[in-house]
Structure 1
Amino acid sequence: MFHREGQKIILATFFIVCAVILLSQFYVNIPWLRWALQILALVFLVLILQFFRNPSRRPNKNFDEILAPVDGKVVVIEEVEETEYFKDKRRQVSIFMSPINVHVTRYPASGSVTYSKYHPGKYLVAWHPKSSTENERTTVVIKTPKFGEILYRQIAGAMARRIVNYAEVGESVQQGEDAGFIKFGSRVDVFLPLDCAVTVKLNQKVVGAKTCIAAVVKKDEEGEITY
């Protein structure tokens, strides 16, 4: 299955690849060059198909957990001052996506969208400390039953030049559903309340709509913290 945001690009690439193969077959008389052009064209098509793949994910929806909104690697876990919406301290978990990762953004929790805003900006590399506040980005806040409001931010990288965000203020969203798409390498920051438990570690690989990145802190009868 391929994401709807890639339909036009996939179709255009398919026709270009067909044209390259046909033209090289009739007009390139050097066999090794003809084969090289055709193989490169097919490899390019495979890469485009791979980038826009959209694997089906059916999460076990859980109000006590925040799921990773994207596939990638955890690059930041820290307490920060969130200055756009909350204007107070939050726990930030950032996930970096390489060009080979699935680039579908999925809602990390169920709830209602209370804020959704697009910000034009720069195209610093996605792991740059200032990319979260200076790059092109979208900010979405979801009001959840157990965590209160959580915020996630899609951030463009040096290669990502288009962010697609489907979240609209007032709509109800379900954990794991399609929330948007970021084209070509980028990152997503999630801002969580301080009293939740982060359940991932730095450099851990996560899977969107599958990996739990935070949970409600609970205590058993003996007072021990559990998730």
Structure 2
Amino acid sequence: MRMRDTFIKPMHPEGRRFVGIFAAITLALFLVAEPLGWIGVGLTVWCYYFFRDPVRTTPTRDGLVVSPADGVVSLIERAVPPPELGMPDTALVRVSIFMNVFNCHVNRTPAAGTVARVAYRPGKFFNASLDKASEDNERNSLRFALPNGQELAVVQIAGLVARRIVCFVSEGQQMRTGERFGLIRFGSRLDVYLPDGVAPLVALGQTMVAGETVLADFTSAEGARLGRDD
């Protein structure tokens, strides 16, 4: 990898309009006062960085579930998937990944399968790191039918700053592991509901990389993983 590629990442098309707006405001600020203009430059660079869409190397072995988002594992608990997905009213292991405003916000499919259901529900904008965000916040839920006959759910949840959930896929679409399916603008969270009997192979506080970090393995007999902070 060239040194330039470490710092300059491709930008998702969703970000072009916002970077253009930030750049226009920056020019206006320079006309008002040069120090304000340089603040605008910093914010424009941040906006570009927010919408970065880097290439990821996704493990392709059958049975692996990868992280759908960059961020930190904020919750691991049992919970019932959103009712709009039409799944059984049974609590499953839910892994929540919190994305702050500095994380890459492009979301990726955790496992290969068919999009069986896409359901949007409006809601509130509590801090996405809070447990009640899963119940009360604006969300977009996806149910994936996997080749092994099991199902897996992913929920995009808007946060305190986020005001727009974007989903690129539709029902019936075939998805590969690690393929882009959406993004959330400006701070948010993703919940993954694992099939019954599948243990998460991540720990609370662990940093996740979308499309790369292995979140679970259908073929593993390992129990829920614990972590240590050093």
Query: What TM bracket, shorter-length normalisation?
Result: 0.7 to 0.9
Q: Aligned partners of 2:113, 2:45: CA distance in 1, in Å?
A: 37
- Is 1:153–2:171 an aligned residue pair? no
Q: What is aligned with 1:165?
A: 167
5+ unaligned residues in a row in structure 2: which ranges? 1-9, 224-230
Q: Which has the larger radius of gyration?
A: 1
CA offset at residue 44 of structure 1? 1.1
Q: Aligned partners of 1:184, 1:132: CA distance in 2, in Å?
A: 17
Q: Which amino acid aligns with 1:42?
A: V
- Is 1:16–2:29 an aligned residue pair? no
State TM-score, norm by structure 2.
Answer: 0.86
Higher share of residues assigned strand: 1
Q: Which amino acid aligns with 2:105?
A: H
CA offset at residue 146 of structure 1? 3.5
Check conservation: 1:63, 1:145, Cα contact below 8 A: no
Check conservation: 2:23, 2:41, Cα contact below 8 A: no
Alpha-carbon RMSD across the aligned residues, in angstroms, is: 1.7
SS of 2:68's equivalent in the other structure is: coil
Q: Which amino acid aligns with 1:146?
A: N
5+ unaligned residues in a row in structure 1: which ranges? 29-33
CA offset at residue 18 of structure 1? 2.6
Selected match of 2:116 from 98, 114, 129: 114
SS of 1:176's equivalent in the other structure is: coil
Q: Which amino acid aligns with 1:171?
A: Q
Q: Aligned partners of 1:77, 1:157: CA distance in 2, in Å?
A: 18
SS of 2:42's equivalent in the other structure is: helix
Check conservation: 2:51, 2:105, Cα contact below 8 A: yes
- What is the aligned-residue identity percentage? 35
Q: Aligned partners of 1:53, 1:218: CA distance in 2, in Å?
A: 33
For these two proteins, the number of residue pairs brought into alignment is 211
Check conservation: 1:146, 1:216, Cα contact below 8 A: no
Check conservation: 1:122, 1:135, Cα contact below 8 A: yes
Check conservation: 1:64, 1:216, Cα contact below 8 A: yes
Can you list the C-alpha shifts for 1:190-217, whole angstroms capped at 9, x where unaligned?
Answer: 0011211211000100100000111114
Q: Aligned partners of 1:37, 1:83: CA distance in 2, in Å?
A: 45
Q: Which amino acid aligns with 1:155?
A: I
Equivalent residues in 2 for 1:84-95, closer than 5 Å: 84=83, 85-86=86-87, 87-95=89-97
Equivalent residues in 2 for 1:66-215, closer than 5 Å: 66-84=65-83, 85-86=86-87, 87-146=89-148, 148-215=150-217
Q: What is aligned with 1:31?
A: none
Q: Aligned partners of 2:181, 2:168: CA distance in 1, in Å?
A: 5
Q: Aligned partners of 2:142, 2:211: CA distance in 1, in Å?
A: 17
CA offset at residue 82 of structure 1? 2.6
CA offset at residue 168 of structure 1? 0.7
CA offset at residue 142 of structure 1? 0.7
SS of 1:46's equivalent in the other structure is: helix
- Is 1:44–2:43 an aligned residue pair? yes
- Is 1:61–2:60 an aligned residue pair? yes
Q: What is aligned with 2:6?
A: none
